Structure 1
Amino acid sequence: MKVGILPLGRPTFDVPYAEQKLAAMLTQLDASGHDIVGPRSLLMGPDEGALAAVAGADVLLILQVTFTDAAFATRAATGFDGAVAIWAVPEPRVGGRLRLNAFCGLNLLSHALGLNDRRFTWAYGDEVDLDALLTGPVVAPRHGAPATAPARPIRRDLHIARIGARPDGFDTCAYDKDELSALTGARVTELELPQLFDAARALPDAAVAPYAEKAASLGGMDTLDKGELDRSLRLAGALKGLKDQHNFDAMAIRCWPETFTEYGGAVCGPVSILGEARTPCACEADVYGAVTQAILQDVAEAPVFLADLVDMDGETGVVWHCGQAPVSMAAKAPDATVHTNRKQALLLEFPLKPGRVTLFRLSQAYGRKQVIIATGDVLDAPMAYTGTSGTVRFDRGADRVCADIMASGLEHHMALAYGDHAQALREVAAGLNIDVLELGA
């Protein structure tokens, strides 16, 4: 067959390591006997020449070498006449930075292709069965079933802040205010990032002091740039001020790149602080993620963590985000650190404590509203990647959960809370009159 390849990467990740991974992928492809066409170096953004180079191939093979948004790959896949396959590569769980985050890119793209009704095959691994990937059956959509539990009402008066628009290519974070209100009763107030930045800059020093005192006990504070630290802590005060001014219950914040490139400080540490105080915040302006957190927080009566799934190995999965989990989830005293890609403060770093957990998403996959649930246990294991991360043994097996993530088109953010809340969330689904899907079941 003629196989057209699009190797995707981003310069904010570990490019030399990504190039090593790509070289190994190309070696396997060249040994397959197929006619391999298309670029053989990482595409760091949309590339019209690359699209022209793969036109007319039998299969479009998207090589997800690092995390990327889904915009270019979705355009390539939906505009291609032949079969579409995606191959993403893992990275070892050695406690360092998340160097590629390719699984999350696969997750993001699977959701976008589901919304566009574009079927695909996929593989995740260093060594894969190329024949199965290139010719195997495409993913069959996986949907939930009506909830059979008694109905559990949710709060119908949630007030959500959306601060800044979602990044391009993040279909997982799209929302319709009217649809959301009809489903949950939640209303959304839309603010722009400059409003947050201006409020942070104007914050009196006395209003920043409580956050500085809270951060002072963190290990590693003496390694941080004082200006970045001050700007980051000011974001905590500004978010608290906006919450109090508007009576927000949760917030969805466009966290990158502008907090780094225009403002000069990370919002991740402030998100941890607010989450611990029961004002959950969603990254990447994910409004449904913020509503998901608020619902789970009410059910669990405890802080929640909006996490990416960043690795699945058949036995366990890793939940992770840059450094913004609530500190009550820490297995050890948190350390202060900088963002792994953007190198700015303040983030909190710790492994999640062992214990029973529930993951939950109010999902719009395939354009259908449903509740998605997974349960398992965070293991007493070394920190997989820097930031806030935990290794989860899923009740139904990581391989089955992973297959369902791809088949369900699940969004790349799930809310996590300690405890087993599956039954209560089935009741939430019944109360909302939408289907429920339990991953791996």
Structure 2
Amino acid sequence: MAEVHRLFVLGRPTFDVDHARACSPAAISLLRDSGVQFTGDGDMLFDNAQVAAAIEASAGDAADGVIVIQSTFTDAEAICMIAERFGGPLRIWALPEPRTGGRLRLNAFCGLNLAAHALGLRNREFVPLYAAPERPGTAERVKAWLKASPLPAPVTREPRETASQAGEAALRALRGMRIGRIGEHPAGFDTCAYSDEGLDALARVRVETIGLDRLFDAARAVPEDEVGQVRADLADVAGIADVDQAELDRSLRLRGALDRLKAEGRYDAFAIRCWPETFTEYGGAVCGPVAMMGEKRTPCACEADVHGAISAYMLQAIAGEPAFLADIVDIDADDDTAVLWHCGQAPRSMARRAEPVAATIHSNRKMPLLFQFALKPGRVTLARISQAGGRLTMAVATGEMLDAPPSFGGTSGVLRLDVPAAAFLENMLGATLEHHVALAYGDHRDALEHVARELRLPVLDLTP
């Protein structure tokens, strides 16, 4: 007898809904071909009210498990609503998209990443799949996935004994670090939560809260000549004159506002609620200013991610140069690479030299200023002081950034990791790692081992 599963298709209207609607039916068709029957109509659910209604409509039906198709990025609230209501096997299929160099149309892997972390915090097992329905071999992968067990969590280990001057520099930077948290992290972003007590115990890190209104008021008060100087510093950025100039002005003012807040509060880093209010209430993107602040060694973490800010600051101190807090948005087992990306906020010193750094707009909100470029080739280290599974660890990975054109709009790089991409995917999702990782050029394993030992953090090695 065929198994019956509750089916939920998750999406967000700020992404490419037409493309998602073209991809999801192909996934559902493969599931049916594999013998699965469904409750639910397979319509895309765009908000929590629609998810709640679908849950109630399905609640009275007998089912063997739950299948969620992650058709675009979503936060983790919807998947947690589903997981809390229904027991039994929970399977999540996220849909990849081609690396076209244009807009990140779906960003579904990042949604899977957030879901994995949230489920890990709740001790809820799940079985992930990341596969394009149209690719050869996906039908066989789907059949295997339907029978698969949850991924095992990678085993953490004690840090190695190392002596590292760079690690000591990072420890000095972390101890007593001051972070300005501007706004609160978005709902469904458990990846960005933090504990004041935990940060104090870690390294006496202090977080001070700042209202978004204070940032916006400070931006509006930045003198015209200062805005002009920031713009003059961008003279080599291609296309700067082609974006909406009023929105550009508002964006550049955010750079001046962050400078002022930093001086007033003596902050080492910021964790900023970057959307939606910077667009919907203020009218300009903070992404470009974040890149400029990172270049000046003041990391700014998106989505008010305090641990992301700490991780970038730590890695910056180790490397002696800027760090980039990025999402992992694609992992391709066939060509053995991953893509690290963020809207447009990598420091410009990380740019590949084959093409100029260009000005662009936010892919969803359509406002400047963001930077557009591919990351330069070279050895890189990824790191995060992670709270995956509710336990602090030092997550580490290493690899080689390839000399490749942009995969998606904004700032992105194609990475060949030191383990096969398929193994990294399993390690990352099995560990339920957060969606932001800090990146710096160079191999900094010894320094990170040193920091982990001094802070008494087990090491989560994603590329052992």
Q: TM-score, normalised by structure 1?
A: 0.98
The one of 318, 343, 346 aligned to 1:325: 346
Superposition deviation, residue 157 in structure 1: 1.8
Determine whether 1:48 maps to 2:52. Answer: yes
How much has 1:78 moved relative to structure 2? 2.6
- What per-residue deviation string (whole Å, max 9, x for no partner) do you get for residues 296-346 of structure 1? 010111000000000001200000000000000001321001001100010
Cross-structure match for 2:106:
100
Letter in 2 for 1:356: R
Aligned twin of 2:145: 133
Amino acid at match of 2:144: A
User: Structure 1 residue 372 and structure 2 residue 395: aligned?
Assistant: yes
User: Offset of 1:53 from its aligned partner?
Assistant: 3.4
Q: Distance in 1 between matches of 2:84 and 2:207?
A: 32
- Find the aligned partners of 1:170 and 1:143 in 2 and give their Cα distance: 25
Out of 426, 432, 436, which is 1:409 matched to?
432
Q: Secondary structure at the match of 1:391?
A: strand
Residue identity opposite 1:392 in structure 2: L
Within 5 A, what are the aligned runs for 1:79-228?
A: 79-127=85-133, 128=138, 129-150=141-162, 152-153=167-168, 154-155=171-172, 156-228=175-247
Q: Return 312-321 or 22-31, whichever deviates more.
A: 22-31
Return the letter of the residue paired with 2:71.
Answer: V
Shift of the alpha carbon at 1:218?
Answer: 1.2
> Which amino acid is 2:65 matched to?
V
For 1:344 and 1:39, the matched residues in 2 are separated by 36
Asked if the contact 2:52–2:81 (Cα under 8 Å) also holds between the matched residues in 1, the reply is no
1:355 corresponds, among 357, 369, 378, to 378
1:74 equivalenced with 2:80 (yes/no)? yes
- 1:241 is matched with 260
> 1:275·1:305 contact (CA, 8 Å) conserved in 2?
yes
Secondary structure in 2 matching 1:169: coil
Decide whether the 8 Å contact of 1:7 with 1:39 is kept in 2: no
- For residue 380 of structure 1, give the secondary structure of its aligned residue in structure 2: coil
2:456 to 433, 436, 439: 433
Residue in 2 that maps onto 1:285: 304
Gaps of 5+ in 2: none
Q: Residue deviations 1:144-166, cap 9 Å, x none? A: 11112237541212111100000
Q: TM-score, normalised by structure 2?
A: 0.93
Does the Cα contact within 8 Å between 2:396 and 2:463 map onto a contact in 1? no
1:17 aligns with 2:13: no
Partner Cα distance (1:330, 1:319) in 2: 13
Deviation, 1:202, is: 1.3
Aligned mate of 2:444, from 421, 432, 435: 421
Distance 2:331 2:25 in 1: 22
The aligned amino acid for 1:136 is: A
Deviation digits for residues 35-55 of structure 1 (CA, Å, limit 9, x no counterpart) = 212131211011222112333
How many residues align? The count is 441
Q: Is the 8 A contact 2:7 2:66 kept in 1?
A: yes
What CA distance in whole angstroms lies between the structure 2 residues aligned with 1:273 and 1:401? Answer: 31
Shift of 1:255: 0.2
341-350 vs 135-144, which moves further = 135-144
Whole-angstrom distance in 2 between the partners of 1:224 and 1:118: 45
2:368 is aligned to 345
Cα shift readout 1:250-291 (whole Å, capped 9, x = no counterpart):
110000000000000000000010000110110000000000
Q: Counterparts of 1:312 and 1:263 in 2: how far apart (Å)?
A: 35
Which of 64, 67, 71 aligns to 1:65? It is 71
How has the CA–CA distance of structure 1 residues 194 and 143 changed in structure 2, closer, same or farther, with 3 Å as cutoff? farther
CA, structure 1 residues 143+180, in 2 after alignment: closer, same or farther (shift >3 Å)?
farther
Which of 260, 272, 294 is the aligned partner of 1:253? 272
Aligned equivalents of 1:37, 1:425: Cα separation in 2:
48
Please point out which of 295, 302, 306 is paired with 1:276. Answer: 295
Which SS does the other structure have where 1:297 is aligned? helix
1:376 alignment partner, SS class: strand
Aligned-pair CA distance for 1:169: 0.1
> By how many angstroms is 1:30 displaced?
2.3
* SS of residue in 2 equivalent to 1:68: coil
What SS does the corresponding residue of 1:33 show, helix, strand or coil?
coil
Q: Secondary structure of the residue that 2:316 maps to in structure 1?
A: helix
Distance (whole Å) between structure 2 residues aligned to residue 54 and residue 108 of structure 1: 24
Q: Counterpart in 2 of 1:29?
A: 31
CA separation of 1:362 and 1:40: change in aligned 2, threshold 3 A? same
Distance 1:188 1:143 in 2: 31
The Cα RMSD (Å) is 1.2
Partner of residue 10, structure 2: 8
Cα distance in structure 2, aligned partners of 1:245 and 1:410: 34
Alpha-carbon deviation of 1:77? 1.1
| Structure 1 gaps, min length 5 | none
- Give the alignment partner of residue 295 of structure 1, picking from 305, 308, 314: 314
CA distance in 2, matches of 1:222, 1:146: 52
In structure 1, the residue corresponding to 2:44 is in which secondary structure?
A: coil
